[in-house]
């Protein structure tokens, strides 16, 4: 039986998807407002398999969060704290090097993000990258969100391109996708007042792409955003990708409420549901026709949803991780790390083929694919 027959409400959209015709804002809104999760999944999986067949990419990575001191203190976030908070920390160079010493062979990426700490100047971050590169010359350093780069630019009174040039010289290889949250001004001014605007976030990624860096992109959902805000956000990413081609992966991130100011202001908000997670993922896969990969982050959706996501548009499963702090500060009940063998098991049991990649999607290991 056909999932989307000629009388199905999405028959017109399904035709476009099969013909590779770009979906409009109105199409996106219809999809986002729908509860027909099977039809959404069917279309998203079609696109996902057309691009990547049965492959699921994963990488072996580590996270380092050098400081949790943050002057931006977004209401949705439970990670950043004030300087005088008893939980405040900033890693010394010795602590950073110690973490590098603990990195086993086989790790190909270190993901580095932290709070907007006003006391740390650009030389702290240059030194951090230099020390990591010296100890781990073959490991890719994916570091600093556009929001952090904007902060470095203000603290050091230097334009972002100069900040980026210095960080690239010190060992920066690419940028993660955090900090995008939701671009629409109204919800952004509530969940992330004082944060870099959506427009500026996009501008900084554009500068980075033009300087030859690849980056990722994200969207934070399940807070006070509307369905239209989500579609506008995806279209904002798609428009930039048309101009630069620099985004590698989109990662939908559901908001976790615990220990946040936002849940105090909006006590009716709640944890995301599996249904919403799959819907946002599938619609993103359908709208972002020019972004190659869609990542599911097991740390935040949980391993069971992450596995299911591999049939709803996701072709990438992040990652071995180790020492995740941002989501665990906000109540995530997932583990803080996963063995590579477990990642492979999850992918295989979903009937997909695991392929280990590096940050730039070069294939590191296909032994699993042919096992």
Is the Cβ of residue 23 or residue 74 nearer to ligand V47 in the bound state? Answer: 74
Q: Cis peptide before 319, with omega less than 30 degrees from 0?
A: yes
Residue 23 or 81: the one with the smaller Cβ distance to ligand V47 is 81
Q: How far is the CB of 248 from ligand V47 (least distance, A)?
A: 9
| Nearer to ligand V47 among residue 33 and residue 271 (C-beta) | 271
Angle of helix 198-210 versus helix 227-244 axis, rounded to 10: 20
Strands 109-112 and 61-64, bridge-based pairing: parallel
Nearer to ligand V47, 218 or 334 (CB): 218
Residues contributing to the site for ligand V47 (CB under 6 A): 76-79, 176-179, 181, 216, 218, 220, 251, 253, 255-256, 260, 297, 318, 326, 330
Residues 6+ apart with CB under 8 A from 48: 285, 294, 313, 314, 315
Of 318, 310, 304, nearest to 352 by C-alpha is: 310
- 22 DSSP assignment: P
Residue closer to ligand V47 (CB basis): 173 or 318: 318
Considering the complex, what minimum distance in angstroms separates the CB of residue 218 from ligand V47?
5
**Can you state the percent helix, strand and coil of the chain, rounding each to 5?**
45, 15, 40
**Smallest distance from ligand V47 to CB 76, Å:** 5
Which tokens hold the place of 301?
């959706």
CA angle 24-202-88, nearest 5°? 130
Least distance (Å) from ligand V47 to the CB of residue 16? Answer: 29
Is there a binding annotation on residue 74? yes
On the 0-12 / 13-18 / 19+ scale of CB atoms within 10 A, 291 is buried
Cβ nearer to ligand V47, comparing 271 with 275: 271
Distance between CA atoms of residues 218 and 171, nearest Å: 23
d(CA 178, CA 70): 15
Q: How far is CA 315 from the centre of its chain?
A: 14
Position of minimal CB gap to ligand V47: 178
Paired strand residues for 110: 62, 141
For 3, list phi and psi in degrees, rounded to 5. Answer: -70, -40
Give one word for 113, left, alpha or beta, with left for phi > 0 and alpha for psi -120 to 50.
Answer: beta
In angstroms, what is the minimal distance from the CB of 313 to ligand V47? 16
- Cα–Cα distance list, 212 to 78, 172, 175, 247 (Å): 33, 12, 11, 11
Residue 217 among known ligand-binding residues? no
Nearer to ligand V47, 251 or 281 (CB): 251
Q: How far is the CB of 327 from ligand V47 (least distance, A)?
A: 6
* Nearer of residues 79 and 312 to ligand V47, judged by Cβ: 79
CB of 130 vs ligand V47, minimal distance in Å: 22
**Residue owning tokens 């583990």:** 335
- Tell the burial category of 303 from Cβ atoms under 10 Å away from its Cβ (0-12, 13-18, 19+): middle
Give min distance, CB of 331 to ligand V47, in A: 8
> What residues are designated binding site?
70, 74, 77
Q: Which residues are annotated as a binding site for [4Fe-4S] cluster?
A: 70, 74, 77
């Amino acid at each position: 039986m056909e999932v989307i027959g000629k009388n199905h409400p999405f028959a017109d959209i399904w035709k476009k998807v099969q013909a590779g015709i770009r979906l409009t804002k109105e199409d996106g809104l219809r999809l986002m407002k729908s509860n027909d999760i099977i039809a959404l999944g069917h279309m998203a999986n079609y696109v996902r398999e057309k691009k990547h067949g049965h492959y699921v990419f994963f990488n072996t990575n580590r996270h380092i969060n050098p400081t949790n001191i943050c002057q931006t203190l977004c209401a949705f976030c439970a990670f950043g704290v004030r300087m005088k908070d008893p939980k405040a920390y900033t890693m010394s160079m010795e602590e950073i090097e110690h973490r590098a010493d603990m990195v086993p062979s086989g790790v190909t990426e270190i993901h580095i993000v932290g709070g907007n700490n006003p006391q740390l100047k650009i030389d702290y971050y240059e030194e951090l990258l230099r020390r990591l590169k010296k100890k781990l010359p073959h490991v890719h350093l994916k570091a600093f969100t556009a929001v952090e780069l904007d902060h470095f630019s203000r603290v050091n009174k230097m334009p972002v391109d100069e900040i980026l040039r210095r960080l690239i010289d010190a060992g920066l290889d690419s940028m993660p996708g955090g900090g995008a949250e939701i671009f629409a001004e109204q919800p952004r001014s509530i969940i992330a007042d004082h944060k870099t605007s959506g427009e500026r976030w996009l501008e900084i990624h554009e500068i980075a792409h033009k300087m030859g860096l690849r980056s990722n992109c994200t969207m934070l959902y399940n807070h006070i955003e509307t369905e239209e805000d989500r579609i506008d956000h995806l279209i904002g990413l798609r428009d930039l990708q048309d101009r630069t081609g620099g985004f590698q992966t989109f990662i939908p991130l559901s908001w976790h409420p615990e220990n946040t100011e936002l849940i105090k202001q909006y006590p009716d908000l709640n944890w995301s549901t599996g249904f919403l997670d799959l819907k946002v993922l599938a619609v993103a896969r359908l709208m972002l026709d020019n972004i190659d990969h869609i990542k599911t982050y097991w740390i935040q959706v949980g391993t069971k949803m992450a596995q299911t996501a591999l049939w709803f548009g996701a072709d990438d499963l992040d990652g071995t991780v180790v020492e995740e702090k941002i989501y665990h500060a906000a109540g995530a009940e997932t583990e803080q790390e996963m063995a590579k063998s477990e990642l492979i098991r999850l992918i295989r049991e979903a009937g997909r083929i695991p392929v280990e990649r590096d940050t730039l999607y070069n294939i590191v290991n296909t032994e699993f694919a042919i096992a």
